[in-house]
């Protein structure tokens, strides 16, 4: 079921007891973060702060100590004096559980989308014309509502502010952590187009509010937004961009989805929703944005302009340090009447993004299996921030099979950033940490079963040997085949009770009083 817009999703959450309205005053400066962090870690509900009152935004200011060293910096954003009552409520933790993440994607459980993708990817050739027609109808039904469609008028443009009217200070942008360099937009969809091909990209890149009409755009070295900006720079012109907030949450999920190259995020959002995404042309730049968004920031990025961005309390659980990043200059701010401001926070896990990451893991497993078909299951533990560690079970067929899978994972899109890969036999439940630790301890000899490599890592990985580049290691935790990697002894069998005894005890169990 597609959600009409973000408000419809909030109404659904409330009807199911998944949303709590907060009438008490709460400040976007640190207080909302502290409240939301406690609720997230306790497995609590989505929150709608209806009375957002706090100090006006303080933007980053030069750090005289760093200036003396010849490099500008930014002070942590200290709370200024005075108080402002923001006109927009703040919604947070809206996808912070398996239930809410599933509702966000319009299904009872987000694994349903994995089944849909798996059905589309089945390679079997239909047996006869009738089966072929059925398959064609099935594929057509799944993809019919996928392509986005353009509309002329849109709720996201009920209010249009341009030029000096634009003031980001009117939005309740969160300053999340005490040493953050300023307020940050944390749940954005950033829209750009490839200057060469015109293809759209939608990514979720944090946006630091640096002034009424100026933002820091956190385009990391591996991101498509960065590639688009570089292509615009080669042509000697700025790149147009829009930052959209709100709309059906399937759109925000699509912005973080590890889609194959060339797949449009709004097309994928239409697939998830089973309904086309309505798009409207922005007022001041040639970019299409979701018509049902709550708020849209329009503007340009000069490929040759940089300013200090950060620090920021990041999903790694540590502050990412201040560095020079592109500057996004606003030309317009549009919004719905009575717009709701969507937000999230990141930090020491678990957080709301844990469930967003779990949905990515489950929904895209069929695509991973398309490249590495021997994979049975995969678990990217939230405690390791997803991209740092992977537990993988495989159908092992030959000596060195585990190493083949490790190498394949390091060549797959976002999985290329995985620092630790543990490979297990097919009968290991990699979602069960107890079983994973048992198999690691039982089957892995670190001196024999480790594979070291190097390659790209997350640019935010502060432990890496260099920015965006570091070491990787894989561990073969499978049963060893004769002669594999020098193993010459007989390999023991895993202890298991016989099936007939298990069935007999299953029948007896209700009578045992246990």
Q: What are the structure tokens assigned to 149, written together?
A: 């469609």
Backbone CA torsion sign across 60, 62, 63, 69: positive
Cβ neighbours, 10 Å, residue 504: 11
Structural contact between residues 343 and 108, judged by C-beta atoms closer than 8 angstroms: no
Distance CA 393, CA 398 (A): 15
For residue 329, the cross-strand partners are 214, 300
From CA 308, how far away is CA 144, in angstroms rounded?
45
Active-site residue set: 314
Q: State the pairing for strand pair 375-379/278-281.
A: unpaired
Q: What's the length of the chain?
A: 514
Nearest to 30 by CA among 243, 328, 347: 347
Beta strands in 135-227, from DSSP E residues, in sequence order: 149-150, 159-162, 184-185, 189-193, 200-203, 207-211, 214-217
- The pair of three-digit structure tokens given for residue 161, joined into one six-digit string: 């502010």
Half-sphere exposure of 190 (CA within 13 A, CB side): 28
Secondary structure letter of residue 386 according to DSSP = T
**Cα 183 from Cα 485, distance rounded (Å):** 53
Nearest CA among 306, 310, 327, 320 for reference residue 76: 310
Joined tokens for residue 510: 């209700």
**From start to end of 35-147, where are the E strands?**
46-49, 53-54, 84-85, 90-92
Contact 424, 392 (CB under 8 A): yes
Please give the helix or strand (H or E) that residue 299 lies within, else none.
Answer: strand 295-309
CA distances from 477 to 403, 444, 489, 514 (A): 11, 5, 16, 35
Supply the DSSP string of 14-67, one letter for each residue.
HHTT-EEEE-S-B-TBTHHHHHHHHHHHTT--EEEES-BEEPPP------HHHH
Q: What angle do CA 366, 458, 238 make, to 5 degrees?
A: 100
Nearest to 148 by CA among 263, 258, 246: 263
Q: Which of 96, 19, 17 is nearest to 50 (CA)?
A: 19
């Amino acid at each position: 079921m597609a959600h009409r817009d973000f408000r419809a999703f909030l109404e659904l959450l409330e009807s199911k007891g998944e949303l709590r309205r907060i009438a008490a005053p709460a400040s976007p400066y640190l207080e909302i973060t502290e409240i939301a962090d406690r609720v997230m870690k306790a497995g609590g509900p989505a929150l709608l702060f209806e009375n957002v009152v706090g100090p006006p935004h303080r933007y980053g200011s030069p750090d005289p100590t760093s200036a003396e060293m010849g490099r500008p910096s930014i002070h942590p954003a200290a709370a200024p004096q005075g108080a402002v009552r923001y006109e927009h409520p703040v919604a947070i933790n809206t996808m912070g559980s398996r239930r809410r993440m599933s509702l966000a994607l319009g299904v009872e459980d987000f694994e349903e989308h994995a089944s849909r993708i798996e059905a589309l990817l089945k390679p079997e050739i239909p047996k006869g014309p009738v089966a072929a027609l059925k398959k064609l109808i099935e594929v057509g039904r799944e993809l019919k509502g996928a392509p986005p469609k353009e509309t002329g008028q849109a709720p996201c443009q009920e209010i249009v502010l341009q030029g000096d009217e634009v003031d980001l200070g009117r939005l309740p942008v969160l300053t999340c952590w005490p040493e953050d360099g300023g307020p940050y937009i944390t749940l954005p969809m950033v829209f750009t187009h490839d200057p060469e091909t015109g293809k759209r990209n939608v990514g979720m890149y944090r946006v630091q509010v640096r002034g009424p009409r100026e933002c820091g755009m956190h385009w990391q070295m591996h991101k498509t937004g960065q590639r688009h900006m570089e292509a615009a720079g080669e042509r000697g012109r700025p790149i147009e961009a829009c930052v959209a907030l709100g709309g059906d949450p399937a759109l925000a999920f699509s912005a973080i989805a590890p889609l194959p190259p060339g797949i449009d995020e709004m097309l994928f959002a239409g697939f998830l929703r089973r309904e086309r995404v309505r798009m409207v042309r922005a007022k001041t730049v040639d970019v299409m944005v979701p018509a049902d968004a709550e708020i849209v920031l329009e503007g340009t990025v000069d490929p040759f302009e940089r300013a200090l961005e950060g620090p920021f309390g990041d999903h790694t659980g540590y502050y990412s340090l201040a560095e020079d990043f592109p500057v996004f200059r606003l030309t317009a701010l549009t919004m719905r009447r009575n717009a709701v401001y969507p937000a999230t926070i990141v930090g020491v896990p678990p957080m709301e993004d844990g469930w967003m990451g779990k949905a990515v893991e489950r929904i895209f497993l069929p695509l991973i299996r398309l490249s590495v078909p021997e994979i049975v299951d995969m678990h990217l533990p939230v405690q390791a921030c997803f991209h740092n560690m992977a537990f993988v079970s495989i159908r092992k067929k030959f000596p060195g099979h585990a190493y083949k899978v490790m190498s394949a994972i390091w060549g797959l899109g976002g999985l290329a950033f995985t620092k630790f890969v543990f490979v297990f036999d097919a009968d290991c439940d990699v979602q069960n940490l107890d079983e994973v630790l048992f198999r690691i301890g039982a089957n892995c000899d670190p001196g024999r079963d480790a594979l070291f490599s190097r390659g790209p890592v997350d640019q935010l990985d502060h432990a890496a040997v260099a920015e965006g580049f570091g070491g990787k290691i894989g561990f073969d935790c499978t049963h060893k085949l004769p002669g594999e990697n020098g193993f010459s002894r007989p390999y023991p069998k895993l202890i298991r009770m016989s099936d007939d005894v298990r069935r007999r005890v299953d029948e007896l169990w209700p009578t045992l009083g246990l």
